[in-house]
Structure formats: C-alpha cells, structure tokens
Structure 1
Amino acid sequence: MQEDPRAVTEIHENAELDRARDGLQGDCASCFGLCCVALPFSASADFAVNKPAGKACSSLQADFRCGIHTRLRQQGFPGCTVYDCFGAGQKVSQLTFGGQDWRQAPGTAQQMFDVFPIVRQLHELLWYLTEALTLLQARPIHGDIRLVLDETERLTRLDPETLRELDVAAHRQTVNALLLRTSELVRAGTRRKKQDRRGADLIGAKLKGADLRGANLRGAYLIAADLTGADLRFADLIGADLRDADLSGADLTDSIFLTQPQLNSAKGDAGTKVPRSLNRPTQWSR
C-alpha cells in the first residue's frame, strides 16, 4: 500500500517543529547563568531580596548553577521557578558570545547582559510562531508564518552590537498580526458564540466549570481565578496572567499560545489536561 505523500510530508514537518521547540527550552548547563545575573528583581512575594540588573544572585555558584535550585520556593524565590528564557540563555552564551563567559571576559559582561533579554523576547516569538505552524486551521497562512519565523531566527543570530540596537517592539507588531490571524482561524472552528475577553480583569473570577472554548483571553488578568474544571480548549491564552489561578481538572489540551511559564505560575492537579508541547509543573503533584 503506497503512503500518502501529504501524510509523509506532515510527519516530517511535525518532527522538524518538535526539534525546533526543543531548542526553545532552557538548557541551564549550556548557559552562563544569565537570568541570575542580567535580570533585576525586587523583594516581594516572588523574591526574598532585592537584586539589581547586572549583579549576580548570591545563590549563583562558580559553575553557573543555582545553589538553592531544589529549594527555591522554600527559600522565598518562587519567581525563579516560573521563569523560562525559551532557550535564549544558551544561544547568547554559546552562539552570540562564542562560549566565552562574562567572568572570563568581564569587558563583554554588560554587552552580554543587555543582549540576553532581547534574544529572550525573540525566542518567545519563535515559540508562538512555531506553534502556529502546528495548527492545521492556520494552514492558509503557514507560508507567511514561516517567512516571519525565518526572519525572527535570523535576528537572533545578529552580532551583539546590532542586537542591542534592534527595535524588537516593531518586529513584535509584525509577528502579532500573524498570531492574531492564526487565533481567529483556530477559534472560528469552535462554531459557537465568540467570547471576547481580551485584556479583561478576571482577577479572582469564579469560573468553575466554565465553557471557555474558543474564548479570546489574550492578556486577560486571571490572577487567582477559579478555573477548576473549566473547558479552555481552543482558547487563546497568549499573555494571559495565570498566577495562582486554579486549573485543577481544567482542559487546556487544545488551547493556543500557552507557555510553560504561565503553567508554572498557576495551580493544578493530576486531572489538569495540558498541551502536548508543555510539561506538567512538578509542584502540581505535591
């Protein structure tokens, strides 16, 4: 029996996209602890102390590993447990700066710290664009998406000085236009009344068992919302704030543009269904 060429092509494309997503996950062993140095944080519920940008966290070890990694929440640093660089750390460390760390070359330290958050933004866009290419409903615009994805990847490989001058906001607007179109195509397939809650204040909202299939929740504030048992399939969750939202028993399998940091910041349990591309947070099983 002869194989369907289209099916074979789709299998190869999916394998390629899976590999691409693997490269958009943080590899701390290949990074120079950039998130622990370049980024600032303030004493709050997320961080136990203040730390300015460019200063190494006191828990950063000589091998660029975190000395309290397994005890971050207990030590007052839950903010660290929900952070994800989308693979920008290893790219800046190993590609942009050729494997030379900021301790070996202190003259490049500030340049490296400036570049890291820029590449991190670009890698987040790559995550969304890569996901868009996996969505069959968006096939009519896959060609446009791939062009912008390739351009975004090219930008991540620029030299440090060019990266520092890059207008990421302008590029984000170009990407966002495609992501909006992708969202519309995917959510149109739900064939139900549209729920537009983009940017809505849903802090602490009682949404237990809510039918939110195909809802537009882009940028919605869902902090501490009760979403237990909610149906979030095909909901657009890009930029939604899910800190302490209760997702126990919720179905997020076909939600779109959900990221690992969002999941990590929420509450869930063994009954929470998550997208195949994401990992169930370890704290959900405790």
Structure 2
Amino acid sequence: MTEAPSPALKGDCANCFGLCCVALPFAASADFAVTKPAGKPCANLQQDFRCGIHTRLRDKGFAGCTVYDCFGAGQKVSQVTFGSKDWRQAPDTAQRMFGVFPVVRQLHELLFYVTEALTLDPARPLHPELRLVRDETEALTFLGPGDLAALDVAARRAKVNALLLRTSELVRGNPGKNKNRRGADLMGARLRKADLRGADLRGAYLIAADLSGADLRLADLIGADLRDTDLSGADLTGAFFLTQPQLNAARGDAATRLPGSLVRPAHWG
C-alpha cells in the first residue's frame, strides 16, 4: 500500500553538519547516558561531523539516537539553507543554523506524511489537495534563514493535519467507535492479540504495552509512542503513517509483519 519515502525525506548524515548532535538537547535517562544542552556538540561528535560510537550507540547508553530521524532536514539546512557552510568554519552562522534546523525538521516531517498519503489508494479523492499542500510545504523549506525562523509552523501543521485526518478516515473506513484510541493512555496495556484493525491510534501512548500478536492492519499510527512496545508476532500490514524511528523504539521478532516500506530493526534479532 505504501512506497518507500523519497531519499530527500530520510536523514543523510554524510551531507549534514551533525545538526541533531548539536542543536538538540537531551537529558540523562534510559535513552541518553549524559545530559547535553541545546547548542552544545555531543562529546561523541567527531571533526568530520560523524558519530564516534555510531555502531555502538545502544551499548553506550545512547538508544535515543537510534530512534531519531530528521526526515532529511539535516542535509537540507546544511547544504541548501546555509549553502554548505558549516558552523565550525563559519561560527557566526551557528545559532541561526541551530534555530532553523527544528523548523525545517517539522516541515520535512509533514512532507513525509503527505508523501505517504499520496500513495494510499482510498485517499485518491484527496490527492489534488494533498499535492497542493505538499508543494506549498516543500516551497517553505527553501526559504532563507530569517524567513524560516519567523515561520508560523503551528499554522502549517494545523492545515496539513486536517488533511491527514481526512486521509485517515478514508483509509481506515468504518472500523467502529471502539477503534478510536486517539491520544489514549495505553502505557503498559495488555493488548495481546487485540483486534485493532483500522484503529485510530494517532498520538496514543503505547509505551511498554503488550501488542504481541495484535492485528494492526490499516491502523493509523501517526505520532504513536511505541517505546518498548512489544510487537512480537503483530500484523502491521497496511498500517500507515508509521515511521522507521517508531519501529526502532519498539520490540519485535521475526514473526512481526511490517509495511513494505519499513525494515525490521537489527536489534529485534
């Protein structure tokens, strides 16, 4: 049902100035071994902007890094917005670059979902509107640093989200009221073998929930928190608005069935 996202909407660390490793803050927790404020380079960031422990992130206590994707915003800001001038060579650009990065990241995330929506056949009646909002949003990503910093991202998100909600309704059909779990607190919930086909799980908190063997076909999973969620043997065939970082945060096994555009995380074994 879905196609792999455009390479432009996937992180390309080789063409980025390590922006997620500098611009974003993180706190010592189960996801990060140490605390780092926004604007300070991570101690693991090397001079060539590559991560010194990339292949050992989980072992070193940086699991949070393995479940993050900038959706291509890093290379867009590095190579386009700032014309390949990195913040080390041009330190006067650093603060502006770090401030613009989260803005472009949000725009690229919206583009990711709209691009997927355009591959969903049940949403075909909305394709003209989706193409229009895609083109509008993409044009915004090419604005200069000043215009990006002043952009009303919340308004853009609201406009796109309204269209994605209509898309979701068309794709899911009429699964029944008991399938509306939007924003639900399902942390640690026992949902083994649950029938969640066509469920609205937008923004649901599924942290450490047991969804082993659950039927999640045609479920809307946009923004669902799948940290430590057990997806062993679950069927996510046709599930949509599901990202690779969400899967990376979950637990699964060889029996977990995934949408064709996503890959089984290596740590699932």
TM-score bracket, normalised by the shorter chain, equals over 0.9
- State which drifts further: 55-64 or 20-29: 20-29
Q: Deviations over 1:234-254 (max 9, x none)?
A: 111111111000001111120
Partner of 2:230: 246
Moved over 2 A (4+): 191-194
- Name the stretch that deviates more: 130-139 or 249-258: 249-258
> How many residue pairs align between the two structures?
267
Pairing 1:139–2:124 present:
yes
Name the % identity: 73
Query: Could you tell me how far apart the structure 1 residues matched to 2:122 and 2:110 are?
Result: 19
Residue 226 of structure 1 corresponds to 210
Matched residue, 2:99 = 114
Task: Give 1:1-286 correspondences, 5 Å limit.
Answer: 18=4, 21-188=6-173, 192-194=175-177, 195-285=179-269
Residue pair 2:175, 2:199 contacting (<8 A) in 1 also: no
Larger mean CA deviation between 127-136 and 193-202 belongs to 193-202
RMSD over aligned CA atoms reads 1.2
- How far did residue 276 of structure 1 move? 1.5
Q: Which of the two has higher C-alpha Rg?
A: 1
Quick one: distance in 2 between partners of 1:244 and 1:279?
17
Q: CA deviation at 1:121?
A: 0.5
Task: Return the TM-score normalized by structure 1.
Answer: 0.91
Instruction: Tell me the TM-score normalised to structure 2 length.
Output: 0.97
Task: Tell me by how many angstroms 1:277 deviates.
Answer: 1.6
In the alignment, structure 2 segments of 5+ residues that lack a partner are none
Displacement of 1:21: 2.1
Deviation at 1:202, TM superposition (A): 0.6
Whole-Å separation in 2 of the counterparts to 1:39 and 1:157:
21
Per-residue deviation at 1:261?
1.2
Residues 212, 233 of structure 2: 8 Å contact kept: yes
Change in CA separation of 1:192 and 1:120 when aligned onto 2, cut-off 3 Å = closer
Q: Match of 1:209, SS?
A: coil
Query: Residue 249 of structure 1 aligns to which amino acid in structure 2?
Result: G
1:134-185 Cα offsets, whole Å, 9 max, x none, are: 0000000100000000011001110011000111001000000000000000
Task: Indicate the structure whose relative CO is greater, using CA pairs within 8 Å and at least 6 residues apart.
Answer: 2
**CA apart distance, 1:192:** 3.9
